[in-house]
Amino acid sequence: MDQDSYDTAGRELSEAGSRITPFCATAPSEEKQNQPNAEISCQVSKEKTGKDVLQDSNTSQGSHSSMTTKELQEYWKKEKRQCRQVSLVFEIPSTRIAEHHLSKYVMYKIIILQTGSFDCNKSIIERRYSDFEKLHRKLLEDFSEEMEDVTFPKKTLTGNFTEEIINERKLAFKDYLRLLYSMKYIRRSKKFIDFLTRPELEEAYGCLRGGQYTKALEILLEVIGLQERLMRGNPVLVVPTLCAIVVCHKDLENPASAFEYGEEALLRLRVHTSHRYYIPLLETMIALAYELGKDFLALQEKLEELKAKKHPAKIFTLKELAVREYVQ
C-alpha cells in the first residue's frame, strides 16, 4: 500500500472497557490550533476533493428523493450515530519474557480499544522494546517537529528484566502510544499503522502462502478489526485483507463466508473500479455466486464491461494477488 493512501487515511477509533480511562485524540493544544473543533468520524467527508463531494452530494440527493419519511428518519438516525466522537485507548496490562536462540527480551502486551461507540471488540498485539525503538526512529524521519516534546524510554545496560524497569516501561509505552495517536498526521501515517498491524499481517500472509489457511484466517480476522478502526477514513485500504480472507474461506470450502467477505470488499471498491483487486474479485464472486446458486448476471455484466475497456494484459487471480502481498 502506498504512502499517499496511508496519508489520506485516518479516523478516530474504538471503545474502552469499564476499567479504562478514555483519552480523547483531540486533546493536545497543538492539534487544537490546527483544528478548533474535535474531530469526529463524519468529518472525513470534508477532506474529499470538491469533485468527490459533488458526486457524493448528487448521489445522496438522488437516493434520498425516493425514500419515505420513515426511511429518511432512520437514515439520519444512523448518520448521527456514526458521528459519535471516537478515539483509541492503549493499555499495556502485562508483559512476558521471551527467549529466542541466544537472545532474551520482554514482550509488552498491548490492548487497543475504542471509545465513543458501542463496539465492544478489542485488539491485542505484542511488541518488544526494539519494535518501539524502530518506530520512534522512523517517525523522527518524517515528523521531527511534531515529536520534539515526545520522550522515549532510554535503553539500559543492566536491569532490563527487573520488575521495576518493566513496570516503568509499561507506563512509558502506554503514554507514548497515546501521545502519538493524539497527533493527527502521525496516527494516519503508514509507519504508525504498520507498527500496529504489519507483523501480524506478515505472519498471516506467510501462512496463506504455505497453505495454512486455517491459521492465516484466524490471524486475518483478528487484524481486520484493528485495520478498520485505523483506516475508517479510507476503507479501500482494507480491501487486500478482506480479499485474503475470501481466499482462505474459499480454499477451506466455506463459499458462503467467502461470498460474505467478498461483498464487503466490493462495497469498498464500488467507486474504485480501476483498483488492481477489482476484476479478480469480480471473477471470484461470480464463481462463488454460481456455486451458491445466487444471481450473478449483474456481476458478469460488470466484469465484461471492465474487461472490454482494459488493454489486453495478464490479470492475476485473487489468490495470486493475495500471495504477493508482504513479500519481502
pLDDT tens per residue, range 187-202: 999 999 999 999 999 9
The string of pLDDT tens digits covering residues 62-117 is 445 556 676 666 655 555 544 445 588 999 999 999 998 888 999 999 999 987 65
**CATH number, domain with residue 140:** 3.30.1520.10
Domain identity same for 224 and 312? yes
- Residue 275 — very low, low, confident or very high, per pLDDT cuts 50/70/90? very high
The string of pLDDT tens digits covering residues 171-185 is 999 999 999 999 999
The predicted structure's pLDDT at residue 51: 43
From the list 272, 274, 271, 269, the residue with the least C-alpha distance to 285 is 269
Residue where the block lists cell 448521527: 80
Last residue within a domain, chosen from 155, 188, 221: 188
Angle of helix 255-268 versus helix 278-292 axis, rounded to 10: 140
Last residue within a domain, chosen from 188, 222, 242: 188
The predicted structure's pLDDT at residue 308: 86
| Cα-Cα-Cα-Cα dihedral sign, residues 219, 224, 225, 230 | positive
**CATH number, domain with residue 245:** 1.25.40.10
> For residue 102, is it within any domain?
yes
> For residue 58, is it within any domain?
no
From the list 76, 13, 79, 9, the residue with the least C-alpha distance to 44 is 9
Contact criterion met (CB below 8 Å) for 276 and 308: no
Listing DSSP states for 106-139 in one string gives: EEEEEEEEEESSS----EEEEEEHHHHHHHHHHH
> How far is 3 from 131, CA to CA, in rounded Å?
20
Last residue within a domain, chosen from 188, 210, 227: 188
The string of pLDDT tens digits covering residues 224-273 is 999 998 888 889 999 999 999 999 999 999 999 999 999 999 999 999 99
Contact criterion met (CB below 8 Å) for 241 and 221: no
The string of pLDDT tens digits covering residues 53-62 is 344 444 444 4
The predicted structure's pLDDT at residue 144: 93
Q: C-alpha dihedral over 10, 238, 326, 309, to 10 degrees?
A: -110
Residue span of the structural domain in which 250 resides:
197-323
The predicted structure's pLDDT at residue 42: 39
> How far is 173 from 132, CA to CA, in rounded Å?
8
**Angle formed at CA 80 by CA 74 and CA 83, multiple of 5 degrees:** 145
> How far is 171 from 93, CA to CA, in rounded Å?
9
Domain identity same for 268 and 291? yes
| Cα-Cα-Cα-Cα dihedral sign, residues 17, 23, 26, 31 | negative
Mean pLDDT of 33-49: 40
Domain identity same for 203 and 310? yes
The string of pLDDT tens digits covering residues 209-223 is 999 999 999 999 999
> For residue 105, is it within any domain?
yes
> For residue 37, is it within any domain?
no
> How far is 287 from 255, CA to CA, in rounded Å?
10
> How far is 53 from 181, CA to CA, in rounded Å?
27
The string of pLDDT tens digits covering residues 137-163 is 999 999 999 999 899 998 887 778 899
Burial 261-282 (b: 16+ CB within 10 A, else e): bbebbbebbeeeeebebbbbbb
Q: How many helices (H) and strands (E) does the chain have?
A: 14, 3
Instruction: Report how many domains make up the chain.
Output: 2
